[in-house]
Amino acid sequence: MAKCRFFDNHTHGELMSRFTNDVDTISDSLNTSVLQLFISTITVTGIFILMLYISPLLTLVTLTVVVLMFLVARQIIKKSKLFFTGQQNALGAVNGYAEEMITGQKVVTVFCYEKSAAGDFEKLNYHLRDKATKAQLFSGIMMPVMQNLNTINFALTATVGGLLVIFRGLDLGGLAAFLQYTRQFGRPVNEISNQYNNLQESLAGAERIFQVMDQVAEIPDAPDAVGLTNVKGKVQFSDVSFGYEPGNDVLKKISFEVNQGQKIALVGSTGAGKSTIVNLLSRFYDINSGHIVIDGTDLAKIQRKSLRRSLAMVLQDTHLFTTTVMENIRYGRLDASDEEVIDACLLAGAHSFIQRLPKGYRTIVENDGNNLSQGQRQLLNIARATLARPAILILDEATSSIDTRTEQIIQKGLDQLMQGRTSFVIAHRLTTVHNADEILVMEHGEIIERGNHASLLKLKGRYSELYNGQFD
Ligand SMILES: Nc1ncnc2c1ncn2[C@@H]1O[C@H](COP(=O)(O)OP(=O)(O)OP(=O)(O)O)[C@@H](O)[C@H]1O
Ligand SMILES: [Mg+2]
């Protein structure tokens, strides 16, 4: 599964739980269990040698019981491992749900969903309690069972030892010492099975973490992958088909070509596949068939890092980090100086509103930009892309949440930014794309019309319908 798909299929809270709860259980058991296992193993070995020295026959008796103990322990551990995995999964689900409801807190409140949310949470919580109780119960019976077996061991050894003293002349002192060892032998054996049981809990956690670790790496670049340098920005799609899920193609045999420095617009109804095209261009997902070629090199043969360095995106949903406005914009190009950041903001039309913020460029953006308006967040993202000075620029509904007057101001900045750059512009407001070199009209994953504004209007097809519809 590619990286993005993995993130699509797991809630943030569930993933966070892996990085907090599961890592915690591992670190706990590494701190205690592993050390204890080490100590116990040494003790057992030492005692075993002494027992063997006193009486091999009695040692055999003890050993038989110990093997029995291990067999029983194994059964218990098998079961408790199952419940521990269940417990960690249930914990992840609870976290995932909580995270979702907290981020969506406004929606929950507005639609009076509190009761249902609390109910659902209760169900998940109950499930967690159930699994955790079982896991604890099973690992809890380990200790008493082992102690009982140990007592049986002691009795058995004492009996056999007594008989040996009477009939085989084993000296009493030797038996006394042996029995002492038997007691001491039982403790570390107990300890080992106990710690082993604890390790199961952390193994259950480790498995969940390894699942993530196995996923995080994107399919590595092909060994013969090349780095893009001096990107010109010629992009070709030929017969590209793609579906997020197998058997459900979202894009069907898409072909088009964009020359260096051209502005291409993607328009069409919601869900037509416009964002999917730019997702593929950034290689967030790999295509099912066809070819995407940049500057004559197949996308699959380009090192991802160098590909992404030559692209910049401003997306429908913005993302800001909890740091200053200045640093947020600097994400576009990490080595940019403060002056360059400010220049980018001037170009993007973000400078004036940033200056009006309480601490200007030093204002801290809180919680994904909750202290900024949607449009302001969008402006910061545009400034970030401006700073990146990419060869290929992708604007996915970049100006959709900005008022029309500000949009006109930004449009000037954007037009300047797009000068000499290949740009993909996705917009529902068609007035922002009428000057594109080529407009692709998409419907259900296919390009149904293409051409420039004038020719498409003349066609009197879908585009003119959409365009004229805006003024009705
Ligand atoms: N991560 C995803 N996993 C599965 N299916 C997806 C995913 N993202 C989008 N889709 C599906 O792919 C189709 C195309 O989505 P896409 O985001 O490309 O539409 P769009 O043209 O950008 O729409 P909009 O104008 O609303 O942004 C939709 O039917 C959607 O259900
Ligand atoms: Mg979209």
- Say if CB 362 and CB 374 are below 8 A apart: no
- Say if CB 364 and CB 396 are below 8 A apart: no
Distance CA 139, CA 122 (A): 25
Structure tokens at 75: 């059964």
Distance CA 54, CA 39 (A): 23
- Say if CB 364 and CB 324 are below 8 A apart: yes
Q: What is the pLDDT of residue 170?
A: 78
- Say if CB 423 and CB 264 are below 8 A apart: yes
Distance CA 280, CA 287 (A): 7
Residue 212 shares a structural domain with residue 241: no
Assess whether the C-beta atom of 248 lies below 6 angstroms from ligand 1. no
Assess whether the C-beta atom of 230 lies below 6 angstroms from ligand 1. no
Assess whether the C-beta atom of 441 lies below 6 angstroms from ligand 1. no
Residue 298 shares a structural domain with residue 200: no
Rg (CA), the chain: 33
Q: What is the CATH number of the domain that holds 155?
A: 1.20.1560.10
Non-local CB neighbours of 299 within 8 Å, separated by 6+ positions: 281, 283, 291, 292, 293, 307
Residue 188 shares a structural domain with residue 246: no
The residue range of the domain holding 295 is 235-469
Q: What is the pLDDT of residue 9?
A: 76
Residue 182 lies in a domain: yes
Residue 226 lies in a domain: no
Residue 142 shares a structural domain with residue 31: yes
Q: 316: CA distance to ligand 2 center in Å? A: 7
Assess whether the C-beta atom of 275 lies below 6 angstroms from ligand 1. yes
Q: Please report, to the nearest 10 degrees, the dihedral formed by the alpha carbons of residues 110, 116, 119, 125 taken in order.
A: -60
The total domain count for the chain is 2
CA angle 277, 282, 285 (to 5 degrees): 70
Residue 313 shares a structural domain with residue 354: yes
Best CA proximity match to 251, nearest among 2, 395, 429, 440: 440
Residue 354 lies in a domain: yes
Question: Which residue is closest in CA terms to ligand 1's atom 9?
Answer: 276
Assess whether the C-beta atom of 273 lies below 6 angstroms from ligand 1. yes
DSSP state of 433: T
> Which residue, of 166, 186, 216, is where some domain finishes?
216
Q: How many CB atoms lie within 10 A of CB 47?
A: 21
DSSP state of 324: B
Q: What is the pLDDT of residue 1?
A: 47
Q: What is the pLDDT of residue 133?
A: 92
- Provide the strand spans (E) within 85-128: none
Helix (H, G, I), strand (E, B) or coil at 53: helix
Q: For the chain, give me the number of helices (H) and strands (E)?
A: 16, 10
Residue 318 shares a structural domain with residue 430: yes
Residue 420 shares a structural domain with residue 451: yes
State CA 93 to chain mean position distance: 14
Residue 230 lies in a domain: no
Assess whether the C-beta atom of 272 lies below 6 angstroms from ligand 1. yes
SS3 content of the chain, % helix, strand, coil (to 5): 65, 15, 25
Q: What is the pLDDT of residue 200?
A: 78
Residue 227 lies in a domain: no
Helix (H, G, I), strand (E, B) or coil at 293: strand
Ligand nearest to the CA of residue 274, numbered in listed order: 1
Q: What is the pLDDT of residue 188?
A: 80
Residue 386 lies in a domain: yes
Ligand nearest to the CA of residue 273, numbered in listed order: 1
Distance CA 312, CA 315 (A): 10
DSSP code string of 121-188: HHHHHHHHHHHHHHHHHHHHHHHHHHHHHHHHHHHHHHHHHHHHHHHH---HHHHHHHHHHHHHHHHH
Q: How many CB atoms lie within 10 A of CB 175?
A: 20
What global pTM score does this model have?
Answer: 0.70
Non-local CB neighbours of 40 within 8 Å, separated by 6+ positions: 188, 189, 191, 192, 195
Q: Residue 382 phi/psi, 5° resolution?
A: -65, -40
Residue 375 shares a structural domain with residue 418: yes
CA angle 207, 210, 214 (to 5 degrees): 140
Q: What is the CATH number of the domain that holds 383?
A: 3.40.50.300
- Say if CB 231 and CB 294 are below 8 A apart: yes
Question: Angle, nearest 10°, between helix axes 114-168 and 172-216?
Answer: 150
Residue 185 shares a structural domain with residue 251: no
Structure tokens at 268: 């069409």
Q: 429: CA distance to ligand 1 center in Å? A: 18
Give the DSSP H/E element, type plus range, for residue 19.
Answer: none
Q: 272: CA distance to ligand 2 center in Å? A: 8
Assess whether the C-beta atom of 244 lies below 6 angstroms from ligand 1. yes
Distance CA 318, CA 425 (A): 16
Q: Which ligand 1 atom is at minimum distance from the Cα of 274?
A: 21
Residue 327 shares a structural domain with residue 437: yes
Residue 314 shares a structural domain with residue 346: yes
Residue 190 shares a structural domain with residue 289: no
Best CA proximity match to 234, nearest among 290, 145, 299: 299
- pLDDT tens for the chain, 472 residues long, are 455 677 777 778 888 888 888 888 888 888 888 888 888 889 888 988 988 888 888 888 888 888 888 888 888 888 888 888 898 889 889 988 988 898 888 888 888 888 889 999 999 999 999 999 998 888 888 888 888 888 888 898 899 888 888 888 778 888 898 888 888 887 787 777 778 777 877 888 888 888 888 775 666 777 888 888 888 889 999 999 999 888 889 999 999 999 999 999 999 988 999 999 998 998 888 888 999 999 989 988 888 888 888 888 887 677 888 889 999 999 888 899 999 999 999 888 889 989 999 999 999 988 777 788 878 888 888 899 889 888 899 988 877 777 777 777 777 777 877 888 999 999 888 888 888 999 999 999 999 999 999 999 998 889 998 888 877 6
